[in-house]
Amino acid sequence: MLAALERAGARSHFEVLGISHTASDAEVKEAAARMSRRFHPDVPLTEEVSDLKRQIQAIFIRVTEAYDVLRDRTRRERHERTLGIAPMAKAIPPPAPEPPKSGPAPAAPKAPDPESDALLAESMWKEARALLAQERNWDAVQKLEGALALAPGSRVNHAVRFLLAQAIAKNPKWQKRSEEILLSLIQENPKMPDVHLELGMLYKRAGLRARATAQFQKVLALRPDDPQAAAELKALA
């Protein structure tokens, strides 16, 4: 169960199910069914694991999400692209058909569509915001992780990363990664007051007063009428 819980935090749906990215549809279904039987919320818990009910539910949610994506060919191929896997890279590729002796050449495989990926990332970002509003933080983080590699460098990608930093900052164990994401956004564009404000709040929670003060000052330099930054600076004075 602990191994399954560790895999549940993986970005790869294949890793969540414990299968290779070359797994067939039947293997995906078999792996998901096996894990669902073990971690279904209705399965009675023994006394030894009764205090891990929430973690077990989290595993079941991730297994369900992984199966939903991998059983759909289009969504699976998008997911493979986010992992840097060529969608057609399978264990035993089918033999290439003989080219016709006459007539037009067969069409080349379609390249990834940046516009389509950006729209998908925006849709996933909106879904993650709704999940956070429902206090389903784990589900929102997984949704954002899936959108992270889509449309790199775009406005949508920046929004995805900012929301991901906010979401994972709720977990004390993930503060460092939240900081890294926020700093990368500032490095790309230092004139984002909301990012400086979030970073300042993160430093404040960590007890880093000087760093927090510097970030709140940057917020006011970019947005002089920001009431939260002004209040935070006054509290730190």
Cα separation of the two ends of the chain: 48
Using CA atoms, how far apart are residues 213 and 4, in angstroms rounded to an integer?
41
Percent of the chain with pLDDT over 90: 28
Average the pLDDT over 207-234 and give the result: 95
Q: What is the pLDDT of residue 91?
A: 43
Residue-wise pLDDT tens digits, 159-172 = 999 999 999 888 88
Buried b (16+ CB within 10 A) or exposed e, 189-202: eeebbebbbbbbbb
Please identify which residue in the block is written with the tokens 């790199």: 152
Using CA atoms, how far apart are residues 139 and 168, in angstroms rounded to an integer?
11
More confident residue, 8 or 22: 22
More confident residue, 69 or 3: 69
